[in-house]
Structure 1
Amino acid sequence: MKRWLKAAVGACALLMTTVSGHAAERFVFVGHWPESDSFFNVIRNSAQLAADQVGVKIEFRNPTGGDLSEMGRLIDQAAASKPDAIISTVPDENLVTDPLTNAVASGIPVVLVNSGSADFAKKIGALRYIGQAEYDAGKAAGEQAKAANVKSFLCVNHFYQHPVSHLRCKGFADGLGIAVGDQEIDSGTDPNDVVNRSAAFLKAHPDTQAILTLGPTSADPMIKWVKDQGAGDKYFFATFDLSKDIVAAMKDGTVKVAIDQQPFLQGYDAVVILANYIRYGVIQANDISSGPGLITKQNIDQVLALAGKYR
Structure 2
Amino acid sequence: MRRLPRYIGIVLALGAAALLLAACGSSSKSSSASGSGSTTSAVNIAASTGSKVCPYKFALITHGDNGSFWSVVYKGAKDAAADLGCTLTETYGSQQQGQAEPDDNAENAQIQDAINAHVDGMAVSDHDPSLMNPTLAKAAAAGIPVVLLNAGCDDTDIAASGALTCVGQPEQLAGQAAGAEFKKLGATNVLCIIHQSGQNLLDRCNGIAQALGVGQQCKTGSAPSSGTGCTELTLSTPNAASNPQQAIGQVTSYLQTHTGVNAVMALNNAIGTALVSSNPQSKPKIATFDLNSGVQQDITAGSMSFAIDQQQYLQGYLPLVFLDLYKRKNGQSVGGGTTVPSGPLVVTKSNIGKVSAAIAAGQD
Q: Which bin holds the TM-score, normalised by the shorter protein?
A: 0.7 to 0.9
Q: Is the 8 A contact 1:157 1:218 kept in 2?
A: no
Partner of 2:72: 42
2:321 alignment counterpart: 272
Instruction: Tell me the percent identity.
Output: 28
Residue number among 231, 240, 251 corresponding to 2:281 in the alignment = 231
Q: Report the 3-state secondary structure (helix = DSSP H, G, I; strand = E; otherwise coil) of the residue aligned with 2:115.
A: helix
In structure 2, do the counterparts of structure 1 residues 275 and 196 end up closer, same or farther at CA, with 3 Å as the change threshold?
Answer: same
* Equivalent position to 2:103, from 63, 68, 88: 68
Deviations 1:135-154 (A, max 9, x none): 11101110111122223122
Question: 2:157 aligns to what?
Answer: 120
Classify the secondary structure of the residue corresponding to 2:350. coil
Residue 185 of structure 1: SS of its match in structure 2?
strand
Hey, what's the Cα distance between the residues in 1 that align with 2:245 and 2:90?
28
- Give 1:8's aligned residue: none
Alignment pair present for 1:143 and 2:143: no
CA distance in 2, matches of 1:96, 1:231: 44
Match of 1:134 in 2: 171
* Structure 2: runs of 5 or more not aligned: 1-21, 30-54, 221-230
Structure 1: 5+ residue runs without aligned partners?
A: 1-15
In the TM superposition, residue 72 of structure 1 has moved relative to its aligned partner by 1.5
**In structure 2, what residue type is equivalent to 1:137?**
A
Match in the other structure for 1:294? 346
Partner residue in 2 for 1:12: none
Tell me how far apart the structure 2 counterparts of residues 263 and 293 of structure 1 sit (CA, whole Å): 11
What residue number does 2:40 align with?
A: none
**Equivalence for 2:81:** 51
Structure 2 residue matching 1:294: 3-state secondary structure: strand
Compute the displacement of 1:52 (Å): 0.6
> In angstroms, what is the RMSD of aligned CA positions?
2.0
Residue 30 (structure 1) shift:
0.9
2:61 corresponds in structure 1 to 30
Alignment of 1:1-311 (within 5 A): 19-23=25-29, 24-35=55-66, 37-61=67-91, 62-63=93-94, 64=96, 65=99, 66-69=101-104, 70-116=106-152, 117-159=154-196, 161-178=197-214, 180-182=218-220, 183-187=231-235, 188-189=240-241, 190-226=243-279, 230-232=280-282, 234-281=283-330, 282-284=332-334, 286=336, 287-307=339-359, 309-311=362-364
- SS of 1:208 mapped into structure 2: coil
The one-letter amino acid of 1:258's match is: A
SS in 2 for 1:181: coil
The residue aligned with 2:43 is none
SS in 1 for 2:341: strand
Is residue 142–residue 171 contact of structure 1 (8 Å, CA) maintained in 2?
Answer: yes
- CA-to-aligned-CA distance 1:54-96 (integer Å, 9 cap, x gap): 0112122211334233322222222222211110112221231
SS of the residue corresponding to residue 130 of structure 1 reads: strand
Q: Distance in 2 between matches of 1:178 and 1:253?
A: 28
- Contact 2:193 2:232 survives alignment (8 Å): yes
Counterpart residue type for residue 117 of structure 2: S
Structure 2 letter corresponding to 1:156: I
Question: Structure 1 residues 285, 148: closer, same or farther in 2, change over 3 A?
Answer: closer
CA 1:285 to 1:177, structure 2 compared with 1: closer, same or farther past 3 Å? closer
TM normalised by structure 2 equals: 0.74
User: Matches of 1:78 and 1:224 in 2, distance apart?
Assistant: 43
* Superposed displacement of residue 44, structure 1: 0.9
Give SS of 1:91's match.
Answer: coil
Structure 1 segments (4+ residues) deviating >4 Å: none
d(CA) in 1 for partners of 2:190 and 2:247?
A: 16
Count of residue pairs the alignment pairs up: 289
CA distance in 1, matches of 2:205, 2:335: 31
Partner of 2:45: none
Q: Aligned-pair distance for 1:51? A: 0.4
Give a deviation string over 1:208-241, Cα, whole Å, max 9, x none.
Answer: 1111011224223223222xxx332x12212111
- Measure the CA separation in 2 of the matches of 1:83 and 1:219: 38
Greater helix share, 1 or 2? Answer: 1
Report SS of the residue matched to 1:149: coil
Cα distance between partner residues in 2 of 1:129 and 1:140: 20
Look up the equivalent residue of 1:184 and give its one-letter code. Answer: E
**What code does the residue aligned with 2:79 have?**
L
The structure that has the greater radius of gyration is 1
Residues in 2 aligned to 1:194 and 1:178: alpha-carbon distance in whole angstroms: 27
User: Amino acid of the residue matched to residue 219 of structure 2?
Assistant: G
